[in-house]
Amino acid sequence: MKPKIITKNDFGAWVDSLIKKVGVVGVKEKEAGKFHFAPLETAAELRLDYDVTITPPKKFIQPPKEILLMFEIGNDKFKAKAVIEAKELVLLGVHPYDMKAINQMDKVFTDDNKETNYLERRKNITIIGVDPVNASKWGFWHDMGAATVDKGFDLWLTDLGDRYYVEAGSKQGEKLLSSAKTNDAGKTDSELQKEARLNLKSLCKPERKVKATVNELPSLFGNSYESTVWEEHAKKCYSCGSCNLVCPTCYCFDVREDVDISLKSGRRIRYWDGCLLEDFAMVGHGDNFREERGDRFRHRLFRKYSYMVDKVGDIACVGCGRCSSVCLPDITDPVKIINELKGGK
């Protein structure tokens, strides 16, 4: 599909029609200056000028709570049924860094063992991304190479003032857009879009400058395993797991049973889990393979900058800055840690 132009008025009408037809999760203002992904009731609620959302859109792709099995209880019978929750949905307003994180999750749940629960749900989600026009005070996505993204989305929007420039990333996206009133983009539109992309660099605040390149991060971390940085930061860690909770590339989970009051049936449910929580690596007889806060703190950061590179082929930090903004003792800011490591700590 050639790039299209849609006026903001026509865009609103189209989003309203999608809300009626399939259901749209988009970015809304939750309270003054704080945004979240939530189901839209009308296109007027949409805030595509947001800086960052409190939690990433992953909650619609890998929900915090998901039923995996329904079963009946009893040692004399085997009655269990797999559950796949995969509702059709349009996810509207995804920023490039969050798109990059979703692409990494796609790889994790596709490689080795394909996970039907994730993949069926993902297949039914149409993603409409948008170039940011604002960045939060914590964001450093530009330095993480996540200011733009080239795959995973179905449609991508760039704000050109009174209209959006729309590119398709898939047939699914083209089909969705076919119900909108659009025109082919002209040469000026394409030039304006390129210019908007170039301006992305200036959105992240200068004080959020990362003093290492993306390519040198795995070895910077690899050589810093014994650094005092981890313990210095972690001694103030509450092990609350907030950094896990808001991270777009954290996907670890726990599985627990939920038994009906009759004690005859129940569900096996997957919940988000976090490697900063104390019992994350504990086994049945009580041995805890990551008992110390410092070890858990380091593990999370190593997952982002070192370990996951082998698994997903990329740094698993997209620079959204959410962990920095929610950390109560203010110890987990990756920019500060990377710059300390780079400074020789």
Partner 1 sequence: MTESLYLPKQAKIKSVATLNTTEKFFEIELDGGKPLGHKPGQFVEVSVFGVGEAPISISSSPSRKKNGFDLGIRKVGSVTGAVHNMKEGDVLGIRGPFGTHFPYEEIKGHDVLVVAGGIGLFPARSIIQHLIDNKKDYGKITVLFGAKNPSERLLPKELGEWKEQLELLETVDKADDTWKGIVGVITTLFPKVDIDPKRTYAIIVGPPIMYKFVLIECKKKDIADSKIIISLERRMKCGVGKCGHCQMNGLYVCQCGPVYKYSDIKDVREAL
What does the binding site for partner 1 look like in residue numbers (CB under 8 A)?
A: 68-69, 71-78, 80-84, 108-109, 112-117, 120, 225, 251-257, 259, 263, 266, 268, 273, 275, 280-287, 289-290, 295, 299, 302-303, 306-308, 310-311
Instruction: Select 33 or 78, whichever has its Cβ closest to partner 1.
Output: 78
Instruction: Select 205 or 299, whichever has its Cβ closest to partner 1.
Output: 299
Q: CB of residue 323 vs partner 1: minimum separation in angstroms?
A: 17
Q: CB of residue 312 vs partner 1: minimum separation in angstroms?
A: 12
Alpha helices (H) along the chain: 8-21, 58-61, 96-110, 116-123, 171-177, 187-199, 217-222, 229-234, 242-246, 293-302, 308-312, 322-326, 334-342
Q: CB of residue 157 vs partner 1: minimum separation in angstroms?
A: 32
Instruction: Select 113 or 178, whichever has its Cβ closest to partner 1.
Output: 113
Amino acid making up residue 116? T
Instruction: Select 103 or 182, whichever has its Cβ closest to partner 1.
Output: 103
Residues 144/97, Cβ–Cβ less than 8 Å? yes
CA distance 216 to 339: 12
Instruction: Select 88 or 257, whichever has its Cβ closest to partner 1.
Output: 257
Q: CB of residue 114 vs partner 1: minimum separation in angstroms?
A: 6
Instruction: Select 3 or 266, whichever has its Cβ closest to partner 1.
Output: 266
Residues 39/23, Cβ–Cβ less than 8 Å? yes
Residues 300/243, Cβ–Cβ less than 8 Å? yes
Nearest partner of 303 among 339, 249, 345, judged by Cα: 249
Q: CB of residue 227 vs partner 1: minimum separation in angstroms?
A: 13
Q: CB of residue 19 vs partner 1: minimum separation in angstroms?
A: 28
Residues 236/331, Cβ–Cβ less than 8 Å? yes
Q: Tokens 């920095």 — which residue? A: 324
DSSP-assigned letters across all residues of 103-139? HHHHHHHHSSS--HHHHHHHHTEEEEEE--S---TT-
CA distance 117 to 124: 11
Residues 111/314, Cβ–Cβ less than 8 Å? no
Tokens standing for residue 72 = 């009946």
* 3-state DSSP assignment of residue 272: strand
Q: CB of residue 237 vs partner 1: minimum separation in angstroms?
A: 18
Instruction: Select 13 or 281, whichever has its Cβ closest to partner 1.
Output: 281
Instruction: Select 190 or 239, whichever has its Cβ closest to partner 1.
Output: 239
Q: CB of residue 259 vs partner 1: minimum separation in angstroms?
A: 5
Instruction: Select 192 or 234, whichever has its Cβ closest to partner 1.
Output: 234
Nearest partner of 24 among 7, 41, 12, judged by Cα: 41
What is the helix, strand, coil percentage profile of the chain, to 5? 35, 20, 45
CA distance 174 to 122: 17
Q: CB of residue 219 vs partner 1: minimum separation in angstroms?
A: 14
